[in-house]
Structure 1
């Protein structure tokens, strides 16, 4: 196999030739590139550096020997900041939450106030480090049998009414156990209270027991007022919890980390079950649930990549 040809290293002599051909002979960037066998990008870059250094003529002024020319053109590379005053990272973190504000804009404003301050890369790295230090997150370690998390998937499945030919969406209820990640999915015709209750009951039957708590989405059909410790539940939903001897903990609005397990389970169900059913036609909810159950069994028995065991084995 022939060896790959190595790119020729550009020398100071090449830079002098670029300046001579450009300013003495008036050649274009393309012509200089073809003459010296150097890329047009490289020629343009050296011409830009020369203009920034005030060298737009040929011959060069006296005293511009090889070392002096190289120092003049490349001396600004890696320049340390002269102004070492650090930005107000707390203010930057607050400003980033405002609509339309970007890191680039904040850095430009910082450099306008501190022209000799830090560069953009340093600025971004230290802003990210500050956010990691201040945005603390809690890693919840779930005990076996402690919690079941439930929610509806955002994706629906079309079901065809065989009598009328009307297509209506089937909503996918998802439940997951915190410790083992054992997952349950069930299709219903709506997200109303009867379907919501049926999904909870079917999930508990699928898992074969009742967890100490059910962490659920604050669905209006089941939760009147979502408070973490004193929620106001629909009377039927509260009766179901009392009958099952469990506690209902609705999550806060727009706080997906309160039910992170089921958020991940919804994503997995959409990718591993619903995506595989995208080209199939269903004429009843029962037919759809039969197909979901078959793929759900495969999902729960499939070894998880980073764990080495399946959800069923962990359960």
Structure 2
């Protein structure tokens, strides 16, 4: 037949089909495609095979079952199906696999898969149970088979894997050996590698090594698979890892994605794991260098003459030839390298400033006593909140200097004097014209220094009635007295008593006294006549 199934799998399909199983159930049970089952059954039905013929609904005799046929026409009857309960424990179910305990254990010891054991039980012993019963029984025996790892291969330019390893020691002038670390970056498609030795595994060393690798490759891969390095990962989490903010900015700058592996799962970056071993064993073992520069020069030459020219054991192709195919697929490099900067975490002081390099920089008032990230390069200081949202930018200052932006000062902390003379004059004009005339005289005589005097006048307007302030300002302006002390003394003096209105001897509304006399005489005369 033209199908590609093994004899055991073919017999398993026929046996389960003869038991009345559907094609879907057979495919699920055996872990194969349903179309494969259907095609195999069609091809089998087309071949004349009396052993697989079925008459009506009659059961197939044991001797006609290919799973039980042995030595030509001699048939071996299958073992009887196990009872569902035991005499000593009525009602207790016994696994269908119990009669085959030793057989299953022996096959497990040979390293056979559960699928293979199930197939052998069906074809060799006429097993009537299911695949899942075999799997459950094997688990009860305490034997757990590991699922083979899935190999993930990538297209050109899609991925690079990154890891640190131990480098060759540096022998100093004092005769002491210093430990080094080798950063290895491997492109997953071509296995092209880059190695750089550093003295420490800091974030600066990590990013500098990655950047050197990008510029050595002449492009950037779409993603970087790395271990949960302290230099890169703040919080290790398979689902939502927290990256160092500087590392996140580096990835955004180069247009790539950092993909930390699952903690304690080195096989997720197996290409670079083997790559680190390759550098340590082939290039650095047994060597000692005088400096980091000497070791890195040696590694660069080793990569070019040894690592790139080898035939890779997995791809079976030369690394340099494969890299020539991958290089055009890498993302282009930016015009300049990543701007390296110092990054520190600070808590905003009570005065609304943060300290970096012994200089002080303001932030918006709502960030008082909150943590922020500060990035400082040779020219600028940039401040971010905890989500890396920019909140302030300053020019870099010398130690001891303060950089305070007016927008960062709360309105409650800005005095009236800071608003300026014009703003104060507008407030004083609301008191009255005489107060405004005196204030303008003070400004004309003192200039910008008049601010505090005007503020003092506004404070007096809160304590005294406006008409009293208007009166004394009119008096002071008339005599050219531009000192605030004069206004205070005039306000402290008691107000003069009002003068009584002058007595008027004559007024159009007041009659003459002689007229009142005649009126009295006329009245008396009329009384006498009565």
Q: How many angstroms apart in 2 are the aligned matches of 1:254 and 1:84?
A: 46
How far has the Cα of 1:117 moved from its partner? 3.2
Q: How many angstroms apart in 2 are the aligned matches of 1:205 and 1:295?
A: 18
1:151 aligns to 2:134 (yes or no): no
SS of the residue 2:168 aligns to: strand
2:159–2:224 contact (8 Å) kept in structure 1: yes
How far has the Cα of 1:306 moved from its partner? 5.5
Match of 1:169 in 2: 179
1:295 aligns to 2:302 (yes or no): yes
Q: How many angstroms apart in 2 are the aligned matches of 1:256 and 1:229?
A: 17
**Cα root mean square deviation, aligned:** 2.9
Match of 2:274 in 1: 264
1:83–1:118 contact (8 Å) kept in structure 2: no
Match of 2:224 among 214, 222, 232: 214
Q: How many angstroms apart in 1 are the aligned matches of 2:300 and 2:320?
A: 14
Q: How many angstroms apart in 1 are the aligned matches of 2:180 and 2:264?
A: 24
How far has the Cα of 1:299 moved from its partner? 1.1
Q: Which has the larger radius of gyration?
A: 2
1:169–1:189 contact (8 Å) kept in structure 2: yes
> In the superposition, relative to structure 1, how do residues 134 and 158 fare at CA in structure 2: closer, same or farther (>3 Å)?
closer
> In the superposition, relative to structure 1, how do residues 271 and 239 fare at CA in structure 2: closer, same or farther (>3 Å)?
same
Match of 1:184 in 2: 194
Match of 1:129 in 2: 113
Q: How many angstroms apart in 1 are the aligned matches of 2:272 and 2:192?
A: 10
1:175–1:184 contact (8 Å) kept in structure 2: yes
> In the superposition, relative to structure 1, how do residues 169 and 121 fare at CA in structure 2: closer, same or farther (>3 Å)?
same
Cα shift readout 1:108-164 (whole Å, capped 9, x = no counterpart): xxxxx99x93497544115x42389761432212011111110012x33110122x3
Q: TM-score, normalised by structure 1?
A: 0.57
Cα shift readout 1:50-84 (whole Å, capped 9, x = no counterpart): xxxxxxxxxxxxxxxxxxxxxxxxxxxxxxxx999
Q: TM-score, normalised by structure 2?
A: 0.35
Q: How many angstroms apart in 1 are the aligned matches of 2:319 and 2:108?
A: 43
1:272–1:299 contact (8 Å) kept in structure 2: no
Cα shift readout 1:145-196 (whole Å, capped 9, x = no counterpart): 111110012x33110122x332111101101001111111110001111111
1:150–1:215 contact (8 Å) kept in structure 2: yes
SS of the residue 1:176 aligns to: strand
Which aligned pairs between 1:1-315 and structure 2 lie closer than 5 A?
117-118=102-103, 122-126=107-111, 128-130=112-114, 135-153=147-165, 155-162=166-173, 164-228=174-238, 230-275=240-285, 278=286, 280-297=287-304, 298-305=306-313, 307-315=315-323
How far has the Cα of 1:215 moved from its partner? 0.8
> In the superposition, relative to structure 1, how do residues 205 and 83 fare at CA in structure 2: closer, same or farther (>3 Å)?
farther
> In the superposition, relative to structure 1, how do residues 267 and 151 fare at CA in structure 2: closer, same or farther (>3 Å)?
same
Gaps of 5+ in 2: 1-78, 83-97, 115-142, 324-530
Q: How many angstroms apart in 2 are the aligned matches of 1:123 and 1:141?
A: 31
Higher relative contact order (CA 8 A, sep 6+): 1
Q: How many angstroms apart in 1 are the aligned matches of 2:81 and 2:163?
A: 50
How far has the Cα of 1:281 moved from its partner? 2.9
> In the superposition, relative to structure 1, how do residues 123 and 212 fare at CA in structure 2: closer, same or farther (>3 Å)?
closer
Q: How many angstroms apart in 2 are the aligned matches of 1:83 and 1:254?
A: 48
> In the superposition, relative to structure 1, how do residues 118 and 133 fare at CA in structure 2: closer, same or farther (>3 Å)?
closer
2:197–2:292 contact (8 Å) kept in structure 1: yes
1:229–1:249 contact (8 Å) kept in structure 2: no
Q: How many angstroms apart in 2 are the aligned matches of 1:169 and 1:189?
A: 7
> In the superposition, relative to structure 1, how do residues 118 and 217 fare at CA in structure 2: closer, same or farther (>3 Å)?
same
Gaps of 5+ in 1: 1-81, 86-112
How far has the Cα of 1:291 moved from its partner? 1.1
Match of 1:33 in 2: none
How far has the Cα of 1:235 moved from its partner? 1.4
Match of 1:108 in 2: none
Q: How many angstroms apart in 2 are the aligned matches of 1:148 and 1:286?
A: 25
2:283–2:302 contact (8 Å) kept in structure 1: yes
Q: How many angstroms apart in 1 are the aligned matches of 2:149 and 2:314?
A: 21
Q: How many angstroms apart in 2 are the aligned matches of 1:292 and 1:173?
A: 11
2:161–2:187 contact (8 Å) kept in structure 1: yes
Q: How many angstroms apart in 2 are the aligned matches of 1:161 and 1:144?
A: 42
Q: How many angstroms apart in 2 are the aligned matches of 1:182 and 1:125?
A: 39
2:238–2:263 contact (8 Å) kept in structure 1: no
